[in-house]
Amino acid sequence: MNTLRTIYQLALRECDVIRRIPIYGFCMVVFPLLTMFFFTSLMQEGQPLEMPVGVVDLDNSSTSRNIIRKLDAFQTSHVVARYPTVNAAREAIQQNKIYAFLYIPKGTTDDLLSSRQPKISFYYSMTTMVSGALLYRDLKTISVLATAGVGQATMRARGATDRQVKAFLQPITIDLHLLSNTATDYNAYLSTMMVPGVMMLFIFLITAYALGTELKFNRSKEWIQLSGNRIYLALFGKLLPHTLIFLGIAFFYSWYVFGVMGFPHPGGVWKIVLLNIMMVFAAQGFGIFAFGLMPSLRMSMSICSLWAVLSFSMAGSAFPVMGMDGPLQALSWLFPLRHYYMVYQITILNGFPLLDAWWHGAALCAFILLPILVARKLKNAMLTYEYIP
Amino acid sequence: MSTFLKNIIEGTRDACLIWRDEMRQVIKDEGVLIFFILVPLVYPLLYSWIYNNEVVHEVPVVVVDDSHSHFSRQFIRMCDASPDVRIAYYASDMDEAKMLIARQQVRAIYRIPSDFHERLNRNEQTAVAVYCDMSLMLTYKAAYQTAVMVSQEMNSQIQISLSGHYTAREEELLVHPLEYEAVPIFSPGGGYGSFILPGVLVLILQQTLVLGIGLSAGTARENNRYKDLVPVQKHYHGTFRIVLGKSLCYFMIYIFMGTWLTVVVPRLFHFPCLAQWPDLLALMLPYVLACIFFGITVSCIVRYRENVMLLMVFVSLPLLFLSGISWPQNNIPGFWQGVSLLFPSTFGIRAYVRMNSMGATLGDVLFEYRVLWIQMLVYFVIACLVYRYQILQACRHASKEAE
């Protein structure tokens, strides 16, 4: 009973701090939500559509115009301009007017009709990877279609049926099944890592900040005494309001992306709830650990922010961890976001049982237990250290 | 001597003194040093290490071969021989293959139907089913594109064997009446590192500057008796001299850091470096200045030195997206385009990437260049205004004390 009352008093004391210092409200509620709306609204299209593409058509025949029309009809490409020379088109890419261009040299139709194998080229820029990859896909399709068009015309002239034409031109087709994210939705793919990543960043920082400001404003002794010299109790009571607020934000985020935006989540609600709880606790565990390691406000916050920023790369959602060097693959285990992301993609996105991600679940639990390593040092610091500006 | 000239000389002397004071403070403060020196030095190396493999090769794939025929084996062999895909497992049925996906031992399933061979020999169309794990776009791309490429290659071979042409040229014309070529200009490797890092480098420049200036201002405030930003001192009574003196200090440090970030690092890691140095210099000048004045402006909001981290660290990621290198600029909603106008990094990254990675000249990035100068001016004025306010506040506190 006494313990419960102590926790209640500690939590009340922390609520008072949170209410008094506005930066808490911003970092715990406003900024995470802002980031969530930012990413989900930025990539609302799912896939970039109607990207500007140019054309250098020196052939100017019905065939070349047909190719251009087909290119324009794709949902990703939008033919916005024609250029007289390749150089002019290249300059337009450099000026950011177009992302790619199709070059049809003079005499393409003549060469095609007289079987002299003309060549068309597609120039795309990989300096923006998403647009480069998508536009490349369009070009590839266009070129295959154009090639097939020639064969189709020849075979039709010889009296082949459509089925025969199809079977001859494309004996083997590829039947593509996209598991879970059927629409190749970049929003569902990136936002589900970025937003939790930013939330974790704030949990790291705010945890370290909350502990560090006790020292900074010289309230640490009072805090430890209030808990009756029990550091675990002190930590639990102090961080309880944080946990509840962050959990609320995490659940709101989950409700928004999975419920409102309808991102794929065949794993079901309970796994989402469990993962959110593990995420908040693991991030708090890391924050306490970082502060315990170096009980100085600025050093621990620097470590937390640098670690959190790195974890966006080390989570391996954009560039996979399996493509990194060996030592980095091992280091990726030290980032809570990596484990969060793995558990998310295995159990929630793909809907496999938790057992398949148990290593990563165990790692998250290890992060939750990290404060045990530094609890003594933390208590010592709180009772003896002085803040040096 | 006129008072005007005297003012200028005195102001310059004060600015130099403030410059010296600020420099001393920066060197003494380890928190500021971390962000001014350590992060710009180490982070690019770390990121370059993370992305130095650039592309993903040998994505593990499982095959469910229900056909067990000459054709199916050829398909599998050709996929395995491609650079991007490795046939890691053979599964006897789809359930087994699914289990491998669940454990993330493979990234895709190729399923060859049992009538694959029969249909091909009967001149009928058949399909290989490709199931892709969508948790990683790069592996999906590798698995899918390899399957398409191999199927096209096999299709051509089948066509050639059916058509009964005499010469190799005839056969080539049959399968490729129209040749096509895809040219990835500017970054021919198409690697991930050389795509994302130039933007990250320019962003690091802005973020470390703002964080460092914010920390330094926070320290100044905490050391002050009245928690004011500006000490009440003879040399600190003019707005211009404070802003200029401090900027001079940061500018001096970032001449080196900027060179390291935008010139040395890309060369160390062999990213495309197509910009000519006068152009690059002309671009970096307004960019660094705009970042400095932006940082000074932000630093005035900060009450405690650590708060700047809470404010500025998380925006790094959205800022990278707003620059339009991850998500195409054309597809950023108008509202966020408007927000992106506020940050120097948006235009710094756009202009730098286009000049350094795509070989544009200063004339090609004229719009971004102009915006950077405008931002510099606007933030300079704002920085002066907020410092004016800070000076007045400091004077008020001092006079209160005197009473």
Kindly determine whether residue A164 and residue B135, on different chains, have CB atoms separated by under 8 Å: no
The answer to whether the Cβ–Cβ distance between B317 and A48 falls below 8 Å is: no
Structural domain containing residue A145: 51-169
Q: Does A147 sit within 8 Å of B39, measured CB to CB?
A: no
Which residues in chain A have their CB less than 8 angstroms from residue B101's CB? 179, 350, 352
Written as one letter, the residue type at B102 is A
More confident residue, B154 or A183: B154
Are residues B187 and A216, on separate chains, in Cβ contact within 8 Å?
no
Answer whether residue B302 shows pLDDT above 70: yes
Interchain contact, A349 vs B134, CB within 8 Å: yes
Q: Point out the residues of chain A with pLDDT beneath 50.
A: none
Looking at A117, A140, A169, the residue that finishes a domain is: A169
Residues A160, A248, single domain; the answer is: no
Burial category of B400 from C-beta neighbours within 10 Å (exposed 0-12, middle 13-18, buried 19 and up): exposed
CA atoms within 13 Å, Cβ hemisphere of B18: 27
Confidence (pLDDT) at B40: 92
Note the pLDDT of residue B401: 76
Is residue A275 domain-shared with residue A378, that is, in the same domain? yes
State whether A173 and B219 contact (CB < 8 Å): no
| Within a domain: A178 | no
Identify the closest residue of chain A to B84 by CA–CA distance. A323
Separation in Å, CA of B40 to nearest CA in chain A: 12
Q: Domain end: A135, A169, A203, which one? A: A169
A18/A58 same-domain check: no
User: CA–CA separation, B270 vs B264, rounded Å?
Assistant: 10
Residue B352: C-alpha distances to residues A110, B26, B140, B272, B358 (Å):
43, 28, 31, 12, 9
Q: Check residue A183 and give its pLDDT.
A: 83
Nearest to B134 among A52, A178, A324 (CB): A178
Residues paired with A121 in a beta bridge:
A103, B181
Q: Measure CB to CB from residue B151 to each of A150, A172, A180 and give the nearest one.
A: A172
Task: Assess contact for B39 and B204: CB atoms under 8 A.
Answer: yes
Would you state the pLDDT for residue B284? 94
Do A201 and B182 count as a contact with CB atoms less than 8 A apart? Answer: no
**Closest CA in chain A for residue B142:** A133
Residue of A nearest to B72 (CA): A172
**b/e burial code for range B154-171 (CB count within 10 A of at least 16 → b):** bbbebbbeeeeeeeeeeb
For residues A294 and A358, state if they share a domain: yes
Q: What is the 3-state secondary structure (H, E, C) of B230-251?
A: CCCCHHHCCHHHHHHHHHHHHH
For residue A84, count CB atoms less than 10 angstroms from its CB and return exposed for 0-12, middle for 13-18, buried for 19 or more: exposed
Q: Which residues on chain A are in Cβ contact (under 8 Å) with B321?
A: 38-39, 42
Other C-beta atoms closer than 10 Å to the C-beta of B122 total 10
Q: Which of B68, A360, A321, B171 is nearest to A352 (CA)?
A: A360
Does the interface predicted TM-score (ipTM) exceed 0.85? yes
Instruction: Tell if the CB–CB gap between B353 and A127 is shorter than 8 Å.
Output: yes
For range B252-257, the mean pLDDT: 92
Chain B residues lying within 8 Å of A319, measured CB to CB: 50-51, 56, 138, 192, 196
The residue in chain A having the minimum alpha-carbon distance to the alpha carbon of residue B127 is: A173
pLDDT at A1: 65
Is B187 within 8 Å of B195 (Cβ atoms)? yes
A210 and A153 fall within a common domain = no
- Place B334 in a pLDDT band, splitting at 50, 70 and 90: very high
Q: What is the pLDDT of residue B398?
A: 80
Range ranked top by mean pLDDT from A130-144, B101-115, B235-249 = B101-115
CB contact under 8 A, A325 and B39: no
Q: Which of B34, B243, B69, B37 is nearest to A294 (CA)?
A: B34
pLDDT (0 to 100) of residue A329: 92
Query: Given this structure, which CATH class describes domain B59-175?
Result: alpha beta
Residue among B123, B148, B179 whose CB faces A174 most closely: B148
Enumerate the domain spans of chain B.
3-52+189-402, 59-175
> Are residues A109 and A69 part of one domain?
yes
Question: In a 3-state reduction of DSSP, which class is residue B112?
Answer: strand
State whether B184 and A126 contact (CB < 8 Å).
Answer: yes
Query: Which chain B residue has its CA at the smallest distance from A139's CA?
Result: B182
Which domain-ending residue is among A145, A169, A193? A169
Q: What percent of chain B has pLDDT over 70?
A: 99
- Collapsing DSSP to helix, strand or coil, B307 comes out as helix
Tokens of B7: 């003012």
d(CA B320, CA B323): 5
A360 inside domain = yes
Structure pTM? 0.92
pLDDT digits (tens, 9 = 90+) for B156-208: 999 888 888 888 888 888 888 888 888 888 877 778 888 889 999 999 999 99
Element (H, E) at A78: strand A77-82
Burial B184-222 (b: 16+ CB within 10 A, else e): bbbbeebbbbbbbbbbbbbbbbbbbbbbbbbbbbbbbbe
Joined tokens for residue B379: 């933030």
pLDDT the model gives residue A382:
87
Same domain for A201 and A332, yes or no, is: yes
Question: Same domain for A20 and A148?
Answer: no
- Judge: A174–B147 Cβ closer than 8 Å, yes or no: yes
The C-alpha angle B139, B144, B146, rounded to 5 degrees, equals 95
pLDDT in tens, B347-398: 999 999 999 988 899 999 999 999 999 999 999 999 999 888 888 888 888 8
The Cα of B337 is separated from the nearest Cα of chain A by a number of Å equal to 10
Q: Per residue in B73-89, pLDDT tens? A: 999 999 999 999 999 99
Question: Considering only CB atoms, which chain B residues are within 8 Å of A46?
Answer: none
Cβ contact A124–B184 (<8 Å)? yes
Alpha carbon A163 to its chain centroid, in Å, reads 44
Give me A361's structure tokens: 């679940």
With CA atoms as reference, report the closest residue to A56 among A21, A11, A32, A92: A92
Q: Which of B46, B147, B195 sits opposite A127 (nearest CB)?
A: B195
Residue A127 sits in the same domain as residue A253: no
Structurally, chain A folds into a number of domains equal to 2
Closest CA to A195 of B19, B224, B314, B366: B314
Cβ-nearest to B328 among A48, A119, A172: A48
Reduced to 3 states (helix: H, G, I; strand: E, B; else coil), residue A176 is strand
CATH of the domain at A160: 3.40.1710.10
C-alpha span between A295 and A215 (Å, rounded): 9
Question: Does B180 contact A305 at a Cβ distance shorter than 8 Å?
Answer: no
Mean per-residue pLDDT, B216-240: 77
Please check whether residue A104 is in contact with residue A56, taking contact to mean a CB–CB distance below 8 angstroms: yes
Q: Which pLDDT does position B403 carry in this prediction?
A: 72
Residue A372 and residue A322 share a domain: yes
Find the helix or strand (DSSP H, E) in which B15 lies. helix B3-28
Q: How many CB atoms lie within 10 A of CB B30?
A: 13
User: Any idea what DSSP says for residue B36?
Assistant: I
Interface test with A, best of B67, B306, B361 (most A CBs within 10 A): B306
Count of alpha carbons within 13 angstroms of residue A320, beta-carbon side: 22
My answer on whether A66 and A83 are in the same domain is yes
Mutation target among B106, B180, B192, B339 for the A interface, most CBs of A within 10 A: B180
Give domain status of residue A177, yes or no.
Answer: no
pLDDT at A372: 93
Which residue in chain A is spatially nearest to B144 when comparing CA positions? A176
Tell whether A121 and A266 lie within a shared domain. no
pLDDT higher than threshold 70 for residue B1: no
